[in-house]
Chains A and B, each alone.
Chain A
Amino acid sequence: MRTDKYLYVAEWLNNFMIVLLYYIVVEFFYAWAQVDITYWAFLLVAIIVTYSYLCRVYIHNLIIYVILQIVFAGGIILLPMDIVLKVTGVVVGGILFFCNLMFWKTEGVRSFISLNISGVIIPFLIFLQASFSGNFSLLKTAYISGVSYTSLFLIKSYLNNCIKFMSDVQNNKNVPLDDMFKYNGRIVFPFIISVTIGMFLIRVEGLADSLMKLIKNGFDFISQLMRRLIIFIISLLPSMEVSENAVSGETDYSNLVMSKPVPSWLIALLSAIEKVISVVTIMILVYIFLKALFEFVKKYFLRKGYDKVMIDYDDHVDINEKVRHKRKNKIIHFFEGGNENLQIRRIYKQKVEKMRKNGYRLEKFHTPSERLENIHEIKYENIPEGFDELTHNYESVRYSRTILNK
């Protein structure tokens, strides 16, 4: 069942968020105690939290739970680990043990409490503290924890909303849940990944400088190419002396020599041409890149693969098709905008379109008079002011040679 799968994933995302919080607190205490931390600590915390979660979910007898916890604590102590790690394990395990004892009294779903976004305050405070104390390692871990916690929270929220949505529609059988979650997932998960990457990139030192350097290098490269091209073209002119290599059949652009010193205005002109061509080339490349990106988005999201699909269900038929637009000749409309007759026609069309959007059922076979009659017959509420006269004028300009003045 999809609901179970989503619930399962959301549960374990929540557990991972708890692991992150516990770990960052553990690292904080290590930093405070000026003890070096290893990544085994992360693994230990993850194991302890997972064990505690499984106990909560599957153990229903308090005595058995206590015995299992004691055994687990004994196992941690007896494992061949660093003493600091052992102490960490016992402390974290002990905190979870007492939390679980409190949980045992309450009725309800046997699981960890679902964390809120406000939990990010813990890595944030530790980040602040690390910033002030200059602890680079703790700073980095707090940053990663905070960003990961936020991203995991977004995914968990989305999954919880999906579960809630599925429970809301459980009485409705023909809901296209597969399609909904497939299309939505294709947008939501890249969105979350992009935001996460963006959050990580913010911390990258000199990102802006790197980007500017990249652009400058690209510009210089294209400028170099243009310069070489221009020099090559100039070398083809008859007044140029050709090097010995050229006589023997080879052409080396760098060995071209001008017969006279190059005048400064020519150099300035060539530089200007080179810059213009470079800029235009960069613009063309950017345009090609954006167009390719747009085509990719259009193809991926706008489903250009098919124009029309018909699916026959038990009790209904669905036709999913692309919306096609007619090209409007805006240039003609621009020049003819001043014509009163066309203005009246345009105004009438706008009024009718507005009525349609407000709920009036537009029949294409109606003449303007019939439409007016129908509007009065059904006592349509939102009749535009002066619509009767407008209809009369519209009919005059549309179907006769009447030219109305202002």
Chain B
Amino acid sequence: MKLIIALIFCAFFYYAQLFIYRKFWNKSFFVDINFAKTVVREGDHNQLIEVITNDKILPLPMVQIKFAITKSFIFKSYDNSAITDQYYRNDYYSIMPYRRITRTYDFTSSKRGYYRMKGMDVICKDLFLSGMCIKSYKHEAAVCVLPARVLLEEFTIKARELFGEIVDRYNRNEDPFEYAGIREYRSYDPMNRINWKASAKVSQLRVNKFNTTFTQRVVIAINMECHIKWHEEDFAEEQIRLAATFADYFIQSHIPVALYSNGCDILTGKLVEVEAGADISHLRNIEIALARIKDNTGAGSFINIIDESLKNKTYDRTDYIIISNYRKNDLVELYKKIKSENIGVTWIIPEYGVVTPQITKQGDSGIIKWTVKNAN
């Protein structure tokens, strides 16, 4: 019976290696996929880093990693991948005992948003490439792509004057007890404002700066609902870019900025709302809130949001900047209502160049059309 013993011997070793691989392939085996930077801006470069570690003596001759990520990330090449609703990636590795392989892909973030990679599948085969062992890993890796900035120089002079007026108004009525720093001397500065010690240090005249006496804020309100559904996404993205640009502009001028929108946060599902603030970290908060806007809850909720905001009398002065392609009667009425209460309000209407909104022809300098470049 030695032949049968020999055959059993052979079968034993074959199935033993199959068993060993099925049982132990994922022990001390780690897969980590993350991004080099978790916060980038639209158009910035980033890196996708895959780290596979085999911290055991069992070699893994064939390991396949499958995961999906947004197709808005533009990679250098699309080998080993398929793009449909998402970018599906298929990577193969051969990893020996006690080795770690780190693979880095460069990509460009083409669209703002908050992108998560929720999980990945790992497939391993045994020595004879016959048995297949599959495991799904839950993995949270996320990157926040902040909206790009638009060039304020592309606005009309009239529009820039409006924004400048807001900044200028803020800088009047200084409070001598609210020290805000030192700046260069200008010809209109009184002599009693000169900081002689600072001037002596830099050999140039320097004056003290003071914060304003009254509280002021700028409210940037974005309406994610569009006038018509055609190219809604383009307008929504442009509105978000405008909001980020304005927030940056006003915060740099030390004016508190608040953000309201009828868009929902992709993580919490709540309406995007950021209270007023004026420091650099606040700007980052606003940009992240803008990046995380996903859906919109309709024009009705936008009007309610503005109405609620108008009830807030905490601030001595509030200037509203409404960014909305939607321009139906209910919003027009709201605009007129705000204006009638002597509250500073500017309405930016992003629209394609060929379209001229009727409301902009009414001669109201507070309503400005912003030309959106047609992607097609």
Contact = CB atoms under 8 A, between A and B. Distances in A.
Contacts of B229: none
A89 to B, nearest CB: 28
A173 B141 CA distance: 26
Interface string A309-332: 000001111111111000000000
Name the residue among B57, B94, B106 with the largest chain A CB count within 10 angstroms: B94
Interface in B115-171: 119, 125, 127-130, 137-141
Contact of A191 (B17, B75, B138): B17
Interface stretch (A57-65, A107-115, A146-154, A234-242): A146-154
Interface string B55-87: 101010110000000000001110110000000
A260 interface: no
A199 B101 contact: no
Contacts of A151: 10
A314 B103 CA distance: 12
Interface in A292-340: 301-303, 314-323
A199 B9 CA distance: 7
B220 to A, nearest CB: 25
Contacts of A169: 92
Contacts of A174: 79-80, 92
A165 interface: yes
B202 interface: no
A224 interface: no
A93 interface: no
Interface residues of B, number: 52
A180 B34 CA distance: 25
Contacts of B59: 183, 187, 301
Contacts of B10: 147, 150-151, 154, 195, 198-199
B53 interface: yes
Given A174-B80, A321-B102, A195 B128 contact: no
A202 B125 CA distance: 30
B201 interface: no
Contacts of A188: 127-128
Contact of B97 (A120, A179, A301): A301
B116 to A, nearest CB: 10
A321 B53 CA distance: 9
Name the residue among B6, B17, B97, B103 with the largest chain A CB count within 10 angstroms: B6
B60 to A, nearest CB: 9
A26 B142 CA distance: 69
B228 interface: no
B94 to A, nearest CB: 4
A191 B13 contact: yes
Contacts of A315: 75-77, 79, 105-106
21 contacts: A120-B7, A124-B7, A147-B3, A150-B7, A154-B14, A158-B129, A169-B92, A172-B79, A180-B94, A184-B94, A187-B59, A191-B17, A198-B10, A301-B59, A302-B57, A315-B75, A320-B101, A323-B54, A323-B98, A323-B99, A323-B100
Interface of B: 1-7, 9-10, 13-14, 17, 34, 53-55, 57, 59, 61-62, 75-77, 79-80, 90, 92-94, 96-106, 119, 125, 127-130, 137-141, 267
